[in-house]
Amino acid sequence: MAGPPTFDAEFRARFRDLLEWRRDVRKFRRDPLPDGTLERLLQLACLAPSVGLSEPWRFVVVREAARRDKIKSCFKACNAAALNGQAGDRASLYARLKLEGLDDAPCHLAVFADRSTTQGHGLGRLTMPEMIEYSAVLAMHTLWLVARAEGIGVGWLSILEPTAVTTILDTPPDWTFIGYFCIGYPVEECDAPALQREGWESRRPPPDTVFYR
Amino acid sequence: MAGPPTFDAEFRARFRDLLEWRRDVRKFRRDPLPDGTLERLLQLACLAPSVGLSEPWRFVVVREAARRDKIKSCFKACNAAALNGQAGDRASLYARLKLEGLDDAPCHLAVFADRSTTQGHGLGRLTMPEMIEYSAVLAMHTLWLVARAEGIGVGWLSILEPTAVTTILDTPPDWTFIGYFCIGYPVEECDAPALQREGWESRRPPPDTVFYR
């Protein structure tokens, strides 16, 4: 064993590039990921931290066309309701946004968090049971970053009704739906979020989010 | 502009090292972080994805000794209750675990998610309002990783009562408490989670968490 690694300035600069060029991807090429790629990404995702080492993440790879179609229908209904809630100019801008990559992304992944797991023996969950969901979010974020490091894009879709997704994918009732992810090679790379480029919202100065007590 | 970065095998191998050697740190050295370090880490954290570009993370740097003392008391009460809920051998093992680094970590950071923010104009939140909390988790995970790349350890404390933390830190009621983080230089480095080394829980094979539909 070589002992603990150290990370030099070059690595840290590249890691910053990775964070700056990670995107929430909506436009995918249709070519599939090479065999074994998704499995490798999922394995890396499992290096994420989890409350009490509970590893509550549950990854559902959605392959069947009929289920994918139902997810698409669910998105369409939820997105129509969301559009309906936007007023005036915002509504027309919202209608122009591309908010999912369901048709083109070769890989569909639904992520859940298992509140019923006994792994971890409840440690860290008594006052904050939502740590189970947060742990699954950490795993998915890990997958997102390692995917980007391989040039693979990830898009997080939250415009879905969680109870409908549970039904469509026939998952246990104890599993909290975290998100539906489209994964594949992106059509374009960019260092600014699509929502910023399209005039929906812009980033604020980081110090605005920091407070002192 | 040089255009989109690519990440080579060397970078990806180092990134894997980072994921394997990131730890939930409980044992800190007392020396402070160099001036400006925390601010730099927080700036990088703000590169995280957020629902609708809402950037709902709110970072509270806890400096006052009186507030830190109250957080410590809150932890002690919650941890006693958690110990009380563990049975038999588990209870004696639980009692031996070191679950926080509040006394030694030079930097204390409480993280919240602001459900009242209008930034992002509600996009992606209608069916899943919890995306606001998940976005704050993503930012904190980003901070965790960039800190580790600088040799700085982070420990996530969830054994606290969220409503008590809100009172102790005098934060707005619309802010969801995400976690309390101890940050500083770790006493030791390890590629296995402390809970695994101490016999509390062990990791499971990643394929056990993957399902197909």
- For the stretch B104-127, pLDDT in tens is 999 999 999 999 999 999 999 999
A33 by DSSP, 3-state: which?
A: coil
Q: If you average pLDDT over every residue of chain B, what do you get? A: 96
String of b and e for B135-165 (b: at least 16 CB within 10 Å)? bbbbbbbbbbbbbbbbebbbbbbbbbbbebb
Please report, to the nearest 10 degrees, the dihedral formed by the alpha carbons of residues A117, A119, A123, A127 taken in order.
Answer: -10
Contact A211 B18 (CB under 8 A): no
Answer whether residue B2 shows pLDDT above 80.
no
Instruction: Name the residue among B7, B61, B189 with its Cβ closest to that of A18.
Output: B7
SS3 B98: coil
Collapse the DSSP code of A71 into the 3-class scheme (helix H, G, I; strand E, B; otherwise coil) and give the result.
helix
- Please report the residues numbered 95 through 154 in chain B whose beta carbons come closer than 8 angstroms to any beta carbon of chain A: 97, 99, 119-128, 130-131, 133-134, 137-138, 141-142, 144-146, 148-151
| Diameter over CA atoms, chain A | 62
Q: What is the pLDDT of residues A20-69, one digit of tens each?
A: 999 999 999 999 999 999 999 999 999 999 999 999 999 999 999 999 99
Using the beta-carbon criterion (under 8 Å), do A55 and B209 form an inter-chain contact?
A: yes
Contact between A45 and A146 (Cβ < 8 Å): yes
Residue A1 has pLDDT above 60, yes or no: no
Residue A135 buriedness (CB in 10 A; 0-12 / 13-18 / 19+): buried
User: Which residue is listed with tokens 């890691």?
Assistant: A15
Q: Which domains does chain B have, with CATH numbers?
A: 24-188 (3.40.109.10)
- What is the reported pLDDT for B86? 94
| Residue B33 DSSP class | P
Residue B7, both tokens: 């990440």
| Residues A3-33: tens digit of each pLDDT | 899 999 999 999 999 999 999 999 999 999 9
Distance from CA of B184 to the nearest CA of A (A): 16
The tens digit of pLDDT for each residue in A87-118 reads 989 999 999 999 999 999 999 999 999 999 99
Contacts of A21 in chain B (CB under 8 A): 4-5
Report the residue of A53, A78, A191 to disrupt the B interface, i.e. the one with the largest count of B CBs within 10 Å. Answer: A53
> pLDDT of A113-149, one tens digit each?
999 999 999 999 999 999 999 999 999 999 999 999 9
Minimum distance, in Å, between the CA of residue A74 and any CA atom of chain B: 11
Shortest CA gap B64–chain A (Å): 6
Residue B51's Cβ-side half-sphere holds a number of Cα atoms within 13 Å equal to: 30
- Find the residue in A nearest to B156 (Cα): A51
Question: What pLDDT, on the 0 to 100 scale, is given for residue A37?
Answer: 97
Does residue B13 sit at the A interface (CB-CB below 8 Å)?
A: no
Orientation angle between helical segments B9-21 and A9-21, nearest 10 degrees: 90
- Calculate how close chain A gets to B75, using CA atoms only, in Å: 10
Who among B97, B137, B213 is closest to A138 (CB)? Answer: B137
Whether A213 sits inside 8 A of B170 (CB atoms) is: yes
Cβ contacts of A145 on chain B, cutoff 8 Å? 15, 145
DSSP classification of residue B189? -
Tell me whether residues B134 and A130 touch, CB distance under 8 A: no
> B16 to chain A nearest CA, in Å?
8
CB contact under 8 A, A99 and B124: yes
Residues of A whose CB is below 8 A from B191:
4
- Best mutation target among A78, A93, A127, A189 (most B Cβ atoms within 10 Å) is A127
Distance (Å) of CA A147 to CA A89, A102, A142, A153, B54: 36, 18, 8, 7, 23
Structural tokens at position A156: 């997080």
pLDDT at position A3: 85
Nearest of A64, A57, A77, A56 to residue A168 by alpha carbon:
A64
* Count of pairs with CB atoms under 8 A, one residue in A, one in B: 280
